[in-house]
Amino acid sequence: MPNEGAPEPDTVDLIQKLLDSPPPPPRVSEMGRVEEGGDGVAIVTGLGAALADEVLEFASGVKGIVFDLEPGRLGVVLLGPTENVVPGETVRRTRRVVNVPVGAPLLGRVVDAIGRPRDGQGPIETNHRRPTEWPAAGILDRRAVSRPLATGLKAVDAAVPVGMGQRELIIGDRQTGKTSIAVDAILNQRETGVYCIYCAIGQRGDAVAKVIGAIREGGMMARTVIVAAGDEDAPGLVYVAPYAAMSMAEAFAAMGHDVLLVLDDLTHHARAYRELSLLLRRPPGREAFPGDIFFIHARLLERAGQFGEGRGSITALPVVETQAENLSAYIPTNLISITDGQIYLSPRLVRRNQFPAVDLGVSVSRVGGKAQARAFREVAGNLRVTLSQFEELEDFARFGTRLDEDTRARLARGAAVRAALRQPERDPMPAAEQLAILIAATNGLLDGLDEDRTWRAMDAIRHAVREDDAGLAAGIAADEPLTDAVRAAVVARAREAVETVGKADDADA
């Protein structure tokens, strides 16, 4: 009778095989110690062989990045809670740089700056990872910007067009609608197949939640990645967030996809970097920012572009905040010089209830005009001139001077064109509807209407174009010029729509 409790033959064979096999080679682990810690940084000693940007792992489980290499000590930026790191704690080298998960499993997810899920939907199932720092593509690997990226906003698509692969800055004071423009641009990609990444940098949690809710309600969450590094997170995570988002975008572009990347906003990013630099005793420069503040944004935004050889594109919409309309401040000036144009949102237009508050006199697109549809160029070419002349006349008319008929007509036309550029949030328009409203405004169909009637007239024009656009949408898609026949047909449909609104008002009266 076999002995109860005796090992099974397979177990005996396994034990004997392990005893006969050579021992594993020793694992060399370089260890150091924390000398100082606090406020998002730590000073580590005993790791003389560590490299710049290498990830270190603390005994408490917090990770950090080597920022400063000094004789006998390292300046480390923490990627976790500072209170968990105490002096005397051991630190281990990992011999790798910061990397994040990339690929399709990220779509529809909310992650932090190093790719950890924050939406409660479980782990991200992917083995593909990419370093957050990566060299920008060379000149020979790029192609010219030649395809439009429609934002669905009349003021942008008509006067400040954005092309796929462009870097267009969104700039303005607080509460002028910068995030709203970026979110509407994301929502307008429902039918385009463009993947979107929204990177919240140093934003409040409730603000990020509103953006996530808007994207989910707009039906774009399945093709969007949310990277969130809030103001409650460690400044190291806020610093890493835009680079992580760019790496995720590069992975999609390498697979041939077009990507829209929103960085909201780089003002908080610059402040987080300034905070870390001052804590590590780096020499301060202008406004206490370190000397390489320009470089950290240049090397980030240079990674966007239109790529060739089967690769897609990365269109970057960085956001930056100004104070008291000061466009010549340090960080805004840097970003204006790095990007391919800017969409400036004016608080003066906000006070006039003009949304989106795009100031066409200051906004410019240095590349996107080459990718704009010819029909848009023909209609929108006079928008800037019409509005600038209108604003001059409007200022002049405030003095109560008597005006002739021609001047009053030009004032009415300018007011109608400005009103036609108004658009509610979360309502991006197809190109044909935008163009029809602009044609109606420039042809005088909206002259003299009050605000309420203008809104209803624009809605009626949109409905008329949906029923029959006279070939307008097909011409835009084929990049054909706007023919006189199509223009006349659109004007006729728009006039019918405006007259219908007028008859309804007369009937109600």
In the chain, residues under CATH classification 3.40.50.300 are 100-371
Phi/psi region, residue 198 (left: phi>0; alpha: psi -120 to 50; beta: rest), is beta
**Is 167 designated active site?**
no
Range of lowest pLDDT (283-292, 350-359, 376-385): 376-385
pTM: 0.92
Position 3 confidence tier, pLDDT thresholds 50, 70, 90: low
Tell me the sheet residues that pair with 358.
345
Q: Is 213 helix (H, G, I), strand (E, B) or coil?
A: helix
Q: Is the dihedral of CA 97, 101, 102, 107 positive or negative?
A: negative
Position 1 confidence tier, pLDDT thresholds 50, 70, 90: very low
| Contacts of residue 358, Cβ cutoff 8 Å, sequence gap at least 6 | 153, 155, 156, 159, 160, 181, 343, 344, 345, 346, 349, 421
Position 420 confidence tier, pLDDT thresholds 50, 70, 90: very high
> Within 10 Å of residue 357's Cβ, how many Cβ atoms?
24
Predicted confidence at residue 12, as pLDDT, reads 73
Taking 70 as the threshold, does the pLDDT of residue 27 lie above it?
no
Q: Pseudo-torsion of CA 277, 281, 283, 289, nearest 10°? A: 30
Predicted confidence at residue 503, as pLDDT, reads 82
Residue pointed to by tokens 């890493």 = 240
| Beta-strand pair 54-58/31-38 | unpaired
Closest CA to 242 of 267, 213, 209, 279: 267
Residue pointed to by tokens 């909310």 = 110
Q: Is 121 helix (H, G, I), strand (E, B) or coil?
A: coil
> Within 10 Å of residue 405's Cβ, how many Cβ atoms?
7
The CA distance from 149 to 489, in Å, is 27
> Within 10 Å of residue 33's Cβ, how many Cβ atoms?
15
CATH of domain 379-508: 1.20.150.20
- Output phi, psi for 325, to 5 deg: 60, 30
Dump pLDDT digits (tens) for 402-413. Answer: 778 888 888 899
Predicted confidence at residue 294, as pLDDT, reads 97
Taking 90 as the threshold, does the pLDDT of residue 19 lie above it?
no
Taking 90 as the threshold, does the pLDDT of residue 45 lie above it?
yes
Token duo for residue 70: 């000094």
Token duo for residue 11: 């177990």
The CA distance from 257 to 461, in Å, is 34
Dump pLDDT digits (tens) for 260-302. Answer: 999 999 999 999 999 999 999 999 999 999 999 999 999 999 9
The CA distance from 161 to 152, in Å, is 11
pLDDT average, residue stretch 167-190: 97
Predicted confidence at residue 161, as pLDDT, reads 95
Predicted confidence at residue 135, as pLDDT, reads 95
Position 5 confidence tier, pLDDT thresholds 50, 70, 90: low
Predicted confidence at residue 401, as pLDDT, reads 66
Position 454 confidence tier, pLDDT thresholds 50, 70, 90: very high
CATH class of the structural domain 31-96: mainly beta
| Beta-strand pair 90-97/54-58 | antiparallel
**What is the maximum span of the chain, computed from C-alpha positions, in angstroms?**
121
How many alpha carbons lie under 13 Å from residue 471 in its C-beta half-sphere? 13
Predicted confidence at residue 384, as pLDDT, reads 83
Predicted confidence at residue 461, as pLDDT, reads 96
Taking 80 as the threshold, does the pLDDT of residue 203 lie above it?
yes
Position 398 confidence tier, pLDDT thresholds 50, 70, 90: confident
Residue pointed to by tokens 């006998």 = 72
Catalytic option among 143, 190, 366, 426? 366
| Contacts of residue 4, Cβ cutoff 8 Å, sequence gap at least 6 | none
In the chain, residues under CATH classification 2.40.30.20 are 31-96
pLDDT, mean over the chain: 92
The CA distance from 40 to 85, in Å, is 10
Tell me the sheet residues that pair with 55.
65
The CA distance from 311 to 357, in Å, is 35
Taking 70 as the threshold, does the pLDDT of residue 99 lie above it?
yes
Dump pLDDT digits (tens) for 49-85. Answer: 999 999 999 999 999 999 999 998 999 999 999 898 9
Taking 60 as the threshold, does the pLDDT of residue 2 lie above it?
no
| Contacts of residue 255, Cβ cutoff 8 Å, sequence gap at least 6 | 312
CATH of domain 100-371: 3.40.50.300
